[in-house]
Amino acid sequence: MPPTDVPKIIAVTGIGIVSPYGIGMASLEAGLLSGISRLVPAKNVYPEYPGFEGTTAPVSELPHFAADSSYRYSRSDRLAIVAAQDAVADFDRRQASFRDSGIVMASTVAGLSEIDPGIAQDPAAWYRRHGLARASSYSVARVASSVGEHLAIRGPSCAVSVACASGAMAIALAANMLLDGAAPMVLAGGSDALCPFTLSGFSALQSLDPEPCRPFDQSRRGLNLGEAAAVLVLETLAGAQARGANVLALLRGWAMTNDASHPTAPHKQGIGLAKCINHAMEMAGCAVDEIGYVNAHGTGTPLNDIAEANAYELAFRGRRRPVPVSSTKSYFGHCLGSAGSVEAAITISAVRSGAIFPTLRLTHPIESTTVDWVRGEVRRQPLSLAMSVSIGFGGSNAVLIFGNSGSAYP
């Protein structure tokens, strides 16, 4: 049932992205349509660390930005700034509604890319050698404030750091802020850079697939790391209509839950995620049959993918036809704190264009009677509602449901 309370409907009026395919949605969509992944061996990216055997997807040619002398933008900051600039490229930045915007940016890496192990051995010597500004980017809050400073935005700003569910949660919290009237519009998304810290950590956990990952395949071996940033501009539909904004999509439902079952592994049966999906569908006022596509978390790790498949069995039980599901992490890896926002952008793209991007390298999918694993060719079908699913260490789940802007409001 379409929403009718216009002040409480959340509209997406801008999307900005920087991914291994380049800057902007057009380059991302073209890349996904090409079916060519951007995954390369990690040792090509970090030739100084030959021990890294994983496969990664870096962003090339990222611009630098000047900050004041007390600060140096981290790679995650720079990715975030590029994505935010892209999201608001068509906005009139002189308007008060823009200056008073809120910012909710997710990150897990933040400035870790600027720091090396020497800092922990003799911090004072490290600061003397490298300066304080480099270490100042450590806090995840800096990603949000970097975007705000760069765009001269002065509204409420905060960062979200909930592991790999961060990007989606940033969007959910931004939507809550709009319902509260905390800001006229909110820039929400996530940004995470590749760095040795995370490559080493996931390698130590034996979570990396040395080859390009195979999400939802029975022979999957792990994930690949990527880097990206995506920013959505959210505002109430009433606000968007009042300023004549171009409404790209509607955020119809969102939900957050926690498994409370294990510090890192998801609940095997996917109960927490299934509840999260149900809550989001409840908010969207839709039935299980109305979800036309699910952009899955789909990391390619043995534990994540089976838990997720089990969650879909629970959440979509009773559907007349299996729900189409794919993982776009197979194209450019897992972008950690930005993954939820990047995949939200891809989900919106699917809703707008009707193009569902298949999971690459999926030859022997996990058996499921409820899921229609999208593989092979790009599938084209009209979509009124599509879902983006995110899962993170610490048991967190976040689900976003996007609807087509053309048909769902009065």
Partner 1 sequence: MKPILPTITGIGSVTPFGPLAGLIPHAPLEQPPLEPGPITAWTTDGLRRAFVVKPFQPASVVPGLKTRRLDRLSAWTLVASSLALQDAKIDLSQMDRSRVAVVFATGFGCIELTESFYRSAATNGWSGTDPITFPETLANSPPGHVALFHGLRGPNITISNRFFAGECALLQAASLLRHGQADMAVVIAGDTLTQTMYAWYETAGLLSPACYNAQPLTEPFGYVPSEGVVALVLEPAANRDVRSYGHLHAGRWATGGDPLESIYQMLGDSVPSLTIAAGNGGPCSSGPANHPAGGIFSAEAAIVPAQPVALGLTDTGALFHLVLALSKRDCRGNALMLATSGDRGFAALLLELP
Report the site for partner 1 in 167-226 (rule: CB under 8 A): 169, 173, 176-177, 179-180, 182, 196-197, 199-206
- Alpha-carbon gap, residue 139 to 383, rounded angstroms: 39
Does residue 95 touch partner 1 according to CB under 8 A?
no
Among 6, 40, 62, 141, binds partner 1 (CB under 8 A): 141
Q: What is the dihedral of CA 89, 138, 400, 82, to 10 degrees?
A: 20
**325: helix, coil or strand?**
strand
| Residue nearer to partner 1 on the CB measure, 139 or 384 | 139
**CB burial string 268-306: b at 16+ within 10 A, e below:** ebbbbbbbbbbbbbebbebebebbbbbbbbbbbbeebbb
Candidate ranges 18-26, 46-54, 57-65, 237-245; the one touching partner 1 (CB under 8 A): 46-54
> Catalytic residue at 297?
yes
Candidate ranges 318-326, 342-350, 377-385, 392-400; the one touching partner 1 (CB under 8 A): 392-400
Name the phi and psi angles at 376, rounded to 5: 85, -115
Select from 305, 201, 264, 274 the least CA-distant residue to 394. Answer: 264
- List 213, 286, 297, 335, catalytic entry: 297
Among 148, 215, 266, 358, binds partner 1 (CB under 8 A): 148
- Alpha-carbon gap, residue 141 to 191, rounded angstroms: 11
CB of 121 to partner 1, least distance (A): 5
Q: Which residues pair with 390 in a beta bridge?
A: 398
Site for partner 1 in 259-288 (CB under 8 A): 259-264, 272, 275, 279
Q: Which residues contact 376 (CB under 8 A, 6 or more apart)?
A: 358
> Catalytic residue at 276?
no
| Residue nearer to partner 1 on the CB measure, 1 or 204 | 204
Candidate ranges 11-19, 111-119, 285-293, 375-383; the one touching partner 1 (CB under 8 A): 111-119
CB of 358 to partner 1, least distance (A): 31
Does residue 393 touch partner 1 according to CB under 8 A?
yes
Give the count of residues interacting with partner 1 (CB under 8 A).
76
- Alpha-carbon gap, residue 263 to 280, rounded angstroms: 24
Does residue 127 touch partner 1 according to CB under 8 A?
yes
> Catalytic residue at 64?
no
As annotated, the active-site residues are 164, 297, 334
